[in-house]
Structures are given as structure tokens and as C-alpha cells.
Amino acid sequence: MQLNKIFFTIIGFSATFTFSCVTPCDDKNHNKGIVDKALGDVTCTLVSPTIKGMIIDRQGQFDSLFTDTITGTCTKVPTVDFDKFTVLGLKAFGTCRSGFTREVIESVVKKKYIYKVHVTNCGNCTDSTGSYNWITIPKRKDGYLISFEVLK
């Protein structure tokens, strides 16, 4: 009887320790590196939805990417100070409960920015959700290239 009690106590502690050490899935969005801020998803329709990685240097260029299916003009595009910032967009997909970590790294040696979106999928759902991951970074330096990567 005493042996059974000790056995079940050990099993109980083991289960508690095991389940308390499981890290919950992080389905929040995060920004790293030189990302100034995320602009959120624009609610208008993207004119060319097949474009994966985008570099925007002017407000008119940003505005022209979107259309409103009813009026034809999108009035919900964020205003950006393009004298100070460059806008980047990188299309990525996840499951219905996903988090996107947006990271931009500057390589001074290679004169290059690398924009990576890390997708974290949580749960068992199979429905797909996507984001263009619009961000601002400090104004792109002259001669610098930008590469894009989606990591799952």
C-alpha cells in the first residue's frame, strides 16, 4: 500500500514537471533587427498579389499597389515619411493560428539588407492565413540590395 502511494506520488510529480516545462506556442507578431515598425495589413486589394517581396521608396508607389474593389481607389494605405523610411513587404502564409516574426539584418560588408519572416504555426488547424508583413526600416542606403526569405 505504501509502495503504491510512493509510486503514484512520483508519477504525479513527473507529469507536473513535464507539462510545466512545455513552452506554449507563440502566435504573436514580433519585429527584430532594424525594423522600425510594422504597418499592419492594408485592407484594400493588392493590385499584383503574386509579387512576393516588395521594396517601396515613394508614397505614390505604395498607394498604386492597392485598389478598392468598390470605388477603385484605396484610402486606407498608411502614410509613411519616405524621406526617413523605406517600406518592405514580404508575403508569407501560415495556418489559421500563426505568428510572424519580421527581422531585417543589415550587412555593411555586402551592402545588403536581408528581410526574413519566420512563421510560427500553432494548433492543428489546416486553414491558411497570410500576411504581406509590411514594415518600415530606416531609409535604404544608396547601392544597398535587399533579399527576402520566408522561414517556417
C-alpha cell at 119: 512563421
d(CA 138, CA 136): 7
What's this model's pTM, rounded to 2 decimal places?
Answer: 0.78
How far apart, in Å, are the Cα atoms of 39 and each of 14, 78, 125, 134?
45, 7, 27, 5
Domain ranges of the chain: 25-151
Q: What is the pLDDT of residue 67?
A: 74
Question: Along the 152 residues of the chain, how does pLDDT read in single tens digits?
Answer: 565 555 555 554 444 444 434 557 888 899 999 999 999 767 677 777 667 899 999 999 998 888 766 666 676 788 999 999 999 999 999 888 889 999 999 999 999 999 999 999 988 888 888 888 999 999 999 999 999 999 98
Q: What is the pLDDT of residue 46?
A: 77
CB 86 within 8 A of CB 55: yes
